[in-house]
Amino acid sequence: MLAEQQIAECVRWACEQEVNAPKPGNVNIWSDGHNMAVHDFLVSAAAIAPVMAQPGLNVGERILHAIEATRKVVNCNTNLGIVLLFAPLCDAIQRCVSFDQLSSELETTLNNLTLDDARLCYEAIRLAEAGGLGEQAEEDINQQPNVTLLEAMALAQNRDTIALQYVNNYQQVWDISYKQLTAALKCGEKVEWATTIAYLYLLTRVPDTLIIRKQSRHIAQAVAQKAQLFILKMNKNRPLSNSTTELTVWDHELKSHAINPGTSADMTAAALLLFAFEQAFDSDRISVARCL
């Protein structure tokens, strides 16, 4: 089993690598954006890592305490989606003796979510002051829940890909983000470019639901089509790093129109966490930060 400190290192590493990758439209090492800065994400990563790794917390407690820790260091929503995705993973990993067990243990975690988990999660979402949620006819976030957290996520799955991950055992994270991340790393890509590759693949295959909620499905589809152009270039044996100028232009264009593919970024972070856990199991002699 991974030690508490190992899990904390994995969480912090995944969050840091996500913001260090040049992912167009998100806050990244190239540019700040959406009234947030890279520093906000780095201090948030440090804040949530020990909470996510703490043993004995249920998923709802892990989510709420992580958002509380975040709000102590930043006055903006840097990581709600990341926290929602990381909490079940960090609960499940504490029962694993190998990385191969994680998928089944994650399913156990999700199937055992409770009404209390939902209540604490709703409180965390309100505390994070997340935008673009809107009002819902059933189990609105501004009301007290009457269902388990899994049932609440099932109600939201058609409008939020993060909620969908709770329902399908993180299928898109495993099958798209993690698969493309690890494939790129095996081909010799540096972690920041492998992360961006995974992000672009996710954008093309799963229209970003934060964009859909804040702007429109049409804009989300346009972003997906643009991401596909970069993938086509890569498929012609052109490394993504050769498209730095075009990616920078697109990054500025998205931010100038307040278009933030935040859901895709959060799911990419979850893929990085999976990879970090895998590396920690494969070699517990070294820290995650030195794995690559």
| HSE-up (13 A, CA, CB side) for residue 120 | 20
| pLDDT attached to residue 285 | 42
Q: How far apart are CA 25 and CA 50, in angstroms?
A: 28
Q: What is the pLDDT of residues 258-273, one digit of tens each?
A: 999 999 999 999 999 9
Q: Among candidates 169, 168, 261, which has minimal Cα distance to 212?
A: 261
- Phi and psi, residue 60, nearest 5°: -60, -45
pLDDT averaged over the chain?
A: 92
| pLDDT attached to residue 132 | 45
- Determine the Cα angle at 12 with ends 8 and 14, to 5°: 115
Rg, the chain, Cα only: 18
| pLDDT attached to residue 35 | 85
Q: Are 192 and 20 in contact (CB under 8 A)?
A: yes
C-alpha distances out from residue 104 to 23, 67, 285, Å: 31, 27, 26
Q: What residue has token string 């820290």? A: 287
| pLDDT attached to residue 29 | 84
**Paired tokens of 230:** 């970069």
pLDDT tens over the chain, length 292 residues: 999 999 999 999 999 999 999 999 999 888 888 888 999 999 999 999 999 999 999 999 999 999 999 999 999 999 999 999 999 999 999 999 999 999 999 999 999 999 999 999 999 999 998 754 444 545 578 889 999 999 999 999 999 999 999 999 999 999 999 999 999 999 999 999 999 999 999 999 999 999 999 999 999 999 999 999 999 999 888 889 999 999 999 999 999 999 999 999 999 999 999 999 999 998 744 344 433 3
| pLDDT attached to residue 238 | 84
Q: What is the pLDDT of residues 33-44, one digit of tens each?
A: 888 899 999 999
Q: How far apart are CA 33 and CA 28, in angstroms?
A: 8
For residues 218, 220, 223, 229, the Cα torsion angle rounded to the nearest 10 degrees is -80
| pLDDT attached to residue 289 | 42
Q: Are 223 and 25 in contact (CB under 8 A)?
A: yes
Q: What residue has token string 């697109």? A: 250
CATH 1.10.4200.10 fits 4-290, yes or no: yes
Q: Are 83 and 16 in contact (CB under 8 A)?
A: no
Q: What residue has token string 């501004």? A: 142
Show the 3-state SS of the chain. Answer: CCCHHHHHHHHHHHHHHHHHCCCCCCCCCCCCECCECHHHHHHHHHHHHHHHHCCCCCHHHHHHHHHHHHHHHCCCCCCHHHHHHHHHHHHHHCCCCCHHHHHHHHHHHHHCCCHHHHHHHHHHHHHHCCCCCCCCCCCCCCCCCCCCHHHHHHHHCCCCHHHHHHHCCCHHHHHHHHHHHHHHHHCCCCHHHHHHHHHHHHHHHCCCHHHHHHCCHHHHHHHHHHHHHHHHHHHCCCCHHHHHHHHHHHHHHHHHCCCCCHHHHHHHHHHHHHHHHHHHHHCCCCCHHHCC
- Determine the Cα angle at 46 with ends 79 and 280, to 5°: 100
Q: What is the pLDDT of residues 102-117, one digit of tens each?
A: 999 999 999 999 999 9
